Structure 1
C-alpha cells in the first residue's frame, strides 16, 4: 500500500505526528501541489494538508485552460504574457496526458472589441512574447473562412477571425498528477485534513494543529517552515496566525455551463467578446460536450458553498444567444454547471476583470509564508519562487545545503513519455494493449490519453474486475482509491474522473454501485456511508442546479 492510498491514512497520520518537517504546506490545490513537488525534489522533508479533497477549490473549477494570458495584452501586462507563455509550454511537455493543444478562434465583428488589424497585431505580439512554436503560430481568416470553420457563429457583421493555439487541460487531474509526483519524490500529503491552529513555539519550528475531516480526530504536526497556499481560504489561515494586515483577498466568481453536443454541436473552440459588457468568454468542445464560460463577478460568501445563480445562467445564455443566434439554445438543455472563485489580491477601485492575476508572497511576524493570486498556468514558477525563499531561510538558519529547482524538465506523474513528441505513439500502443484486455478501442484510447504512463496500473485493476461494475469503471475506481487517495464518491466522480461535469449519465447510472464498493473496501460505518451518499447527492444537485 503506497503513501497515496485512501487506506494509508492511519499510517500517514502516525508519520505526520512523529516527523519534524522542514516545510509544511497548507492547501492541496495546484499551488500547494507544485510547492510540495518542487520542495520534495530538492530533498526537503515536506508535508501537506488539504482540508477538502485535493483540487476541490479553485483548482477544479477553472475554464480548464493552460493558457498564455492573451487577455493580459489588453492590460499591457507584457511580462505576465511572456512568463505565462513559457510556462504553458513547460506544463504541456511535462504532462502531455493532461494538456492538449487546441486551435482557438477569435472572431471579430463590426462594432466589436477587436478588428482585423488589432486582432492580427495582438496575436502576432502574443506569438512573440509567448515564444509560440512555429507550427502553432496564429493565422487570419476571412469572414467566409471563419464561417466554414464554425458554421454556428454569428454571421451578421462578421469581418473575419484570428486563429491561435490554447492548451486545454483537466485542472483537477493536473493537480492530482503533480501531487502524485510530489509523493513519489518523498512528500507526505493528506486530503480531508483541515488546519485549525498554528502556533510559533520558538524560532526553531511551528506547531500546526490539524483535524481529520472524515472522523473528527485532531493531532499536531511540527515544521521549521509553514507555507499558506490555501487559495480562497488564505485569509482564514492567516487569521489562525494572528490579525490580518492591510493586504487581503477579494474573490471573483466564475461560472461555466455544459451542453451535450447534440444540443450544441460546436466544432471549434471560440474566444469571443460578449454584447452585454464586452468581456471575453470561451466556448469549448470537449469529449462530446460543449462548455461555455466564464463570468467574473465579486463574491463575498463561503467559497465552499458556491451556487450557480439565475443571473449567472442568464449572463452565459445571453452570450451564447449573441454569438450563436441560430442555435436557439434554451436553459433546459444545460446538462451540468460549475462555479468557482478566483482568489485575487485586493486593489482599491478596480473591478474583478481589471484586478491583476499576478501572484504575491509575503511573510508574517511569526514566520508564516503566504502566497496568493497567480494563475493555473504559472503554478510551477510560483512554486519555484516560494521554495527558493524557503531554501534560503533553511540554509541560512540551519546551515543546510538545499539546492535549486529541477521541475522545469521534470515530468509529472503519468507524463513520462519523453515529452509531447512521443505521446501519440505511446497512446496507440496502449490502445492496442487495452483491446487485448477486452476493452473497446474507444475505451482503451480514452484510458491511455487520460492516465498517460500510469495506464498500465489502471489496466491491472481492470484485470481484477468483479461484481456489477463495468470493468473500466471498476479499474478507474480502485486506481483512484489506491493510487490517488480518493476517499469519497465525490472525490472519484468529480476530481478523479470529471464524470460529474462531463458524463453525468454515468454518475447517475453507477453512483450506488460505486458507493457500495467504496463502503465495503474502506470499511465505512452505516453513518459514514449515508454521509458520503448525501454529499454526492448534494454535488449532483449543485451541478444540475436542481
Structure 2
C-alpha cells in the first residue's frame, strides 16, 4: 500500500544571510558585536562566572570581557564553552548532516521515505538540493567535512527513492556539511549509527540551579523554526536573574531588518519597476538575498556603475555585493564575502575570474 500528500512549507533561500540579519537586528537594537572573535574560556571562579576570554582571530590578541551574566548560545560548541575540568553537566549529541547540490532532477520539492530513513529534494537556483544525512558526530566541531562515505550514502538513498534520477558523483555541483546540536539523552541511551530519533527540542540550562555555578545560562538544541521562541525564553530568564522587570516580548511582531515589506511578491515588482535598467531576474535574486536592504545595495551600484555588472559572465552576483559586504556587513575575509554574504560560491567554484574580481573589489574597500 502506498500513499502521498501535498503540503506547502517555507524555504530559506540563504541561511547565512538570515543569520546575518539576526546580527544586524541586534546591532540596530544596541548590541555590540565582536566579529572574528573566538570564545576561549569562561572567566571567574568555580561557582561564579563573571565573563569570557576571547581571541581576536585577525591579530591573535586575547581579551577578557566582563559580564554579570553570560548566555552561551554557541550551538554545536555549547558544551565546549560551558564545560571545564570542574564542570561537565552540559551534554550535547552532535548530529552531522550533509547537502548535495546536483543537476535538477525535480521542479517540485519532494520528501521520500525509505525503510532506512528519508530524504528531501528541493528546487534551488536551477538545481536540486538533496538533503540530508543524520549521523552521530564525535569529532571536533571545527573539523566537520563532507566525506566520500557521506556522499555515497545520500546518493544511494536518492537513487533508491527516485531510480529515474540516475545520479552519480559527476552530477554533484557542490556539497557542504553542518552540525545539529541535539540535546543528549540524560540516560545515555545508545543511539546506534543514526541520530534521526534524537529529539530536536531545546533546553535552557540554568547552571546556577544545576551545578551551583552562577552567572551562566546555556541555550541548547533548537532549530531555525523555533529560534525566536527559544530566545524569548532565554531573555525572560536572563531578566529575572539580573533583577530587571519583565518586559513584553516583541519578537513575534518584529521583522528582521531586511524584512520591512508588506509582501515579497509586491516588493519584487516595485523594485523591478524602480530599477528598470537592471535585469528583472537580477533584482529578484538580490531581493531574495537582501530583502528591503536591496535599496542600499543598489545605491552602491549607482555610485560606481562598474559594480553593477556581474562578477563574471553568467553569474547573478554583482560587484556591489562584495563592496557592500566589506564596507557594511563586517566581512574582513574573502571567504566570508563569497560564502556567507554574497552567495557567490553557493553553487560551488564560481571560476577564477569571479574570485579575482571579488578579491580586487574587497581589497579596494579594506586597503
- Which TM-score applies when normalising by structure 1? 0.61
Say if 2:201 is the partner of 1:367.
no
Instruction: Select between 459-468 and 190-199 the one with higher mean Cα deviation.
Output: 459-468
Give the corresponding residue for 1:70: none
Q: Secondary structure at the match of 2:64?
A: strand
Provide Cα deviations, 1:204-227, integer angstroms capped at 9, x if missing partner: 971322111011122222211101
Q: Secondary structure at the match of 2:83?
A: helix
Q: Secondary structure at the match of 1:168?
A: coil
Give the corresponding residue for 1:191: 35
In structure 1, C-alpha distance between the alignment counterparts of 2:343 and 2:112, rounded to whole Å? 26
Say if 2:355 is the partner of 1:511.
yes
Match of 1:482 among 316, 327, 333: 327
Instruction: Select between 180-189 and 345-354 the one with higher mean Cα deviation.
Output: 345-354
Match of 1:432 among 260, 269, 273: 273
- The number of equivalent residue pairs is 350
Say if 2:127 is the partner of 1:289.
yes
Q: Would the alpha carbon gap of residues 470 and 505 (structure 1) be closer, same or farther in structure 2, given more than 3 Å must change? A: farther
Match of 1:453 among 268, 287, 292: 292
Decide which structure has greater helix share.
1
Is the CA contact 1:431–1:448 (under 8 Å) kept in the aligned structure 2? no
Is the CA contact 1:204–1:224 (under 8 Å) kept in the aligned structure 2? no
In structure 1, C-alpha distance between the alignment counterparts of 2:30 and 2:219, rounded to whole Å? 23
In structure 2, C-alpha distance between the alignment counterparts of 1:434 and 1:260, rounded to whole Å? 32
Q: Secondary structure at the match of 1:401?
A: coil
TM-aligned CA deviation for residue 360 of structure 1: 0.8
Q: Secondary structure at the match of 2:7?
A: strand
Q: Would the alpha carbon gap of residues 433 and 468 (structure 1) be closer, same or farther in structure 2, given more than 3 Å must change? A: closer
In structure 2, C-alpha distance between the alignment counterparts of 1:254 and 1:491, rounded to whole Å? 22
Q: Secondary structure at the match of 2:180?
A: strand
Q: Secondary structure at the match of 2:360?
A: helix
Say if 2:88 is the partner of 1:248.
no
Q: Which runs of no fewer than 5 residues in structure 1 stay unpaired?
A: 1-109, 117-160, 524-546
Q: Secondary structure at the match of 2:176?
A: strand
Say if 2:109 is the partner of 1:269.
yes
Give the corresponding residue for 1:13: none
Is the CA contact 1:209–1:220 (under 8 Å) kept in the aligned structure 2? yes
Is the CA contact 1:432–1:444 (under 8 Å) kept in the aligned structure 2? no
Give the corresponding residue for 1:20: none
Is the CA contact 2:205–2:219 (under 8 Å) kept in the aligned structure 1? yes
Say if 2:221 is the partner of 1:355.
no
TM-aligned CA deviation for residue 280 of structure 1: 1.8
In structure 2, C-alpha distance between the alignment counterparts of 1:485 and 1:260, rounded to whole Å? 33
In structure 1, C-alpha distance between the alignment counterparts of 2:161 and 2:67, rounded to whole Å? 53
TM-aligned CA deviation for residue 246 of structure 1: 4.3
In structure 2, C-alpha distance between the alignment counterparts of 1:358 and 1:224, rounded to whole Å? 28
Q: Would the alpha carbon gap of residues 439 and 312 (structure 1) be closer, same or farther in structure 2, given more than 3 Å must change? A: same
Q: Would the alpha carbon gap of residues 204 and 345 (structure 1) be closer, same or farther in structure 2, given more than 3 Å must change? A: closer
TM-aligned CA deviation for residue 430 of structure 1: 0.4
Match of 1:320 among 149, 152, 158: 158
Say if 2:19 is the partner of 1:171.
no
Q: Would the alpha carbon gap of residues 468 and 228 (structure 1) be closer, same or farther in structure 2, given more than 3 Å must change? A: closer
Q: Secondary structure at the match of 1:188?
A: coil
Is the CA contact 1:481–1:487 (under 8 Å) kept in the aligned structure 2? yes
Instruction: Select between 493-502 and 455-464 the one with higher mean Cα deviation.
Output: 493-502
In structure 2, C-alpha distance between the alignment counterparts of 1:401 and 1:382, rounded to whole Å? 19
Give the corresponding residue for 2:146: 308
In structure 2, C-alpha distance between the alignment counterparts of 1:202 and 1:330, rounded to whole Å? 54
In structure 1, C-alpha distance between the alignment counterparts of 2:341 and 2:94, rounded to whole Å? 26
Give the corresponding residue for 1:91: none
Give the corresponding residue for 2:210: none
Q: Secondary structure at the match of 2:8?
A: strand
TM-aligned CA deviation for residue 163 of structure 1: 0.3
In structure 2, C-alpha distance between the alignment counterparts of 1:345 and 1:505, rounded to whole Å? 35
Provide Cα deviations, 1:438-479, integer angstroms capped at 9, x if missing partner: 321211222223211111100001112366883662211122
State the superposition RMSD in angstroms.
2.2
TM-aligned CA deviation for residue 164 of structure 1: 0.5
Give the corresponding residue for 2:258: 414
Q: Which runs of no fewer than 5 residues in structure 2 stay unpaired?
A: 208-212, 311-316
TM-aligned CA deviation for residue 194 of structure 1: 1.1
Is the CA contact 1:359–1:374 (under 8 Å) kept in the aligned structure 2? yes
Is the CA contact 2:202–2:230 (under 8 Å) kept in the aligned structure 1? yes
